[in-house]
Chain A
């Protein structure tokens, strides 16, 4: 078999073009500058306290706790509810000693997650080609 360099290079070029198109998504869907800073910092708080170990966003993350994408739009579950849970803990979840400023950033991050779409599978319908689509 001859060295298959040409198909390898072509595939790599296609991969790079696809990668760049994904990197450009924030340019197509810009976040208002007034919010971007706090959301980006809130993401770091999410990581600093390792929330992802147990919780999910859009079904991606740990499996021990519930998905938190749309927590803040559930009736009766507002920012105060979230803060109380974080500070007190429940079942496997430890009580976190977390400063108020960081909690506010976390709330802003989860508000942005909530605004970005619905995560529950109950919110989707199956199309004829097998793809799924969120209800409007």
Chain B
């Protein structure tokens, strides 16, 4: 059997560059909350927000792709095709250059989170199709799959499906009826999050099996039960995004009911919390494990928040407010980014000198603390905005935004610290794992 090759390193390094860009663009965009006129006729919020969102999403997609390929290479050394991986990576680079080039020139045309002109989506779709074919080729005839292989397959297939569905608006049939259009847009957004979570949670189970040496973690009935619960939610729980949309009642009720099944996951996590804590004490020196535990804490907080927001009576007060942004940031940074860092450390750790570990250890806690403050400031801004929405006629939008200034100052300050912490980790991983070192 061959040793694992660093075959997915281009994906991991590209993902780290995207993380740095996402953090920087996000920080620059947040200045608009404090200095309204700042760069508005040139590089203002209208260009920086899509740059931030696309870089952040692509950090997750490209990072997840790199993590899944690295995991496959560790499990089945020599099985992956270097050519297919290079072609897939090149397609991503073409798409990223196209997307950021368009944003820089102020050329838009796409949907929220995918604001680049639709033609730029073609290399992304093609790249994902190659990954699906590649995965199917490598995994066929491998006997009974552990749950993480199911999760990877599900994530790859459903990402491709939802990504194509994301462009149904190109047909006037879908675009002319606004309510259907918005329903499909949020069906896509909800399911796509489920798809990338399947890839990332699958990777985290793979890492847990690797750390603990207990293969049963990925083969038990409970592991598969939780996989199917996740799949069920990926497919059907997106309705909680659109309770205020005048769409068909069955869509809202179904979304409401399916969302509530996630209480099971929350209660199970609380039940297992004590044993997780004792495991943490044993392995806390080990960076991948530390990031996994951070992801678990953020999952607990965000799942509780998501469950509350999925109750329509509560959602009414949080919908369209910064509470939703808090949830998006809490999940993409708190959960997805922590899992990706755990994977990056697992696959790149041998490149990193031990002498910088004390710096990274301090930065780890700076990252968690600043993210917590960032999250709380968004929640506070969202609650205040929610109150304004319910009494919308009493004060103007501009007056309400002015009242939120203390929250926005906290947001920018904590965001600056968070950006610094993310850049230290991304910089160290990228620098020591760079090609030719």
- Name the contact of B236 in the complex, choosing from A15, A64, A130 (C-beta under 8 A): A15
A28-60 vs B, Cβ < 8 Å mask (1 yes, 0 no): 011100011101100110011110111011111
When distances are taken between beta carbons in the complex, the residues of chain A under 8 Å from B168 are 23
Residues A57 and B40 in contact, CB atoms below 8 Å apart: no
Q: Which of A77-136 contact B (CB under 8 A)?
A: 89, 91-95, 109, 112-113, 116-117, 119-122, 124, 126, 130-132, 134
Contact with A along B10-26 (1 / 0, CB 8 A): 00000000000000000
Closest chain A CB from B26 CB (angstroms): 13
Chain B residues lying within 8 Å of A89, measured Cβ to Cβ, are 40
Within residues 142 to 164 of chain B, which ones have a CB less than 8 A from any CB in chain A? 144-145, 150
A58–B181 CA distance with the chains assembled, in angstroms: 12
* Cα-based distance from A14 to B33 in the complex (angstroms): 44
Contact yes or no, B319 A121, CB < 8 A: yes
Q: Is the CB of A29 within 8 A of B243?
A: no
B 35-60 contacts with A by CB, 8 A = 36-37, 40-41, 44-46, 49-50
Q: How far is the CA of A116 from the CA of B176 in the complex (A)?
A: 12
B115 touches A91 (CB 8 A): no
What sequence of 0s and 1s flags, for each residue 245-280 of chain B, a beta carbon within 8 Å of any chain A beta carbon? 111100111101000000000000000000000000
**Pairwise interchain contact A91-B108, C-beta atoms closer than 8 A:** no
Tell me the bound Cα distance from A124 to B316 in angstroms.
Answer: 8
Q: Report 12 cross-chain contacts, Cβ distance below 8 Å, ordered by A residue.
A: A36-B176, A37-B172, A44-B175, A52-B111, A63-B322, A89-B40, A91-B36, A92-B37, A120-B392, A121-B316, A121-B320, A131-B253
Interface status of A4 (Cβ within 8 A of chain B): yes
Q: Mark B228-251, 1 if CB is under 8 A from A, else 0.
A: 100110011000011111111001
Question: Complex formed: what's the CA distance from A120 to B246 in Å?
Answer: 12
Residues of chain B within 8 A (CB-CB) of A66 are 397
Residues of the B chain whose Cβ atoms lie less than 8 Å from the Cβ of A48 = 108-109
Do residues A14 and B235 form an inter-chain contact, with CB atoms below 8 A?
A: yes
Interface of B is mostly: helix
Residues of A within 8 A of B220 (CB): 1
Is B419 part of the binding interface, using a Cβ–Cβ cutoff of 8 Å? Answer: no
A-chain residues with CB within 8 Å of residue B244 when the two chains form the complex: 58-59, 119, 121, 124, 132, 134
The verdict on A64 contacting B172 (CB below 8 Å), with A18-B235, A43-B181 known, is: no
Q: From A49, A57, A94, A130, give the contact of B108 (CB < 8 A).
A: A49
Rank and list the top 8 A-B pairs by shortest CB-CB distance, nearest first: A59-B320, A117-B246, A36-B176, A40-B172, A15-B235, A91-B36, A40-B176, A66-B397
| The one of A11, A57, A126 that contacts B316, using a Cβ cutoff of 8 Å | A126
Q: Which of B256, B320, B398 has most chain A Cβ within 10 Å?
A: B320
A26 pairs with B256, CB closer than 8 A: no
Shortest Cβ distance from B396 into A: residue: A66
Stretch at the interface among B130-138, B182-190, B339-347: B182-190
Residues of B in contact (CB 8 Å), total 81
Chain B residues, Cβ within 8 Å of A58? 182, 242, 244-245
Interchain CA distance A116-B109 in the complex, whole Å = 23
Q: Which residues of A contact B49 (CB under 8 A)?
A: 53-54, 62
B391: A residues at CB distance < 8 A: 122
Complex contact B145–A29 (CB within 8 A): no
Are the CB atoms of A54 and B390 closer together than 8 Å?
no
Contact between chains at B50 and A60 (CB < 8 Å): no
B80-88, B205-213, B307-315, B368-376 - interface stretch = B307-315
CB distance from A7 to the nearest CB of B (A): 6
List, in ascending order, chain A residues with CB within 8 A of B174's CB: 23, 26
Q: Is the CB of A36 within 8 A of B172?
A: yes
Contact A53-B45, Cβ < 8 Å, known A48-B109, A66-B397, A121-B390? yes
Q: How far is the CB of A27 from chain B (nearest CB, A)?
A: 9
Q: Quick one: closest B residue to A123, CB to CB?
A: B244
Knowing A25-B179, A116-B179, the reply to whether A47 touches B108 (Cβ < 8 A) is yes
Check if B112 is an interface residue, CB within 8 A of chain A: yes
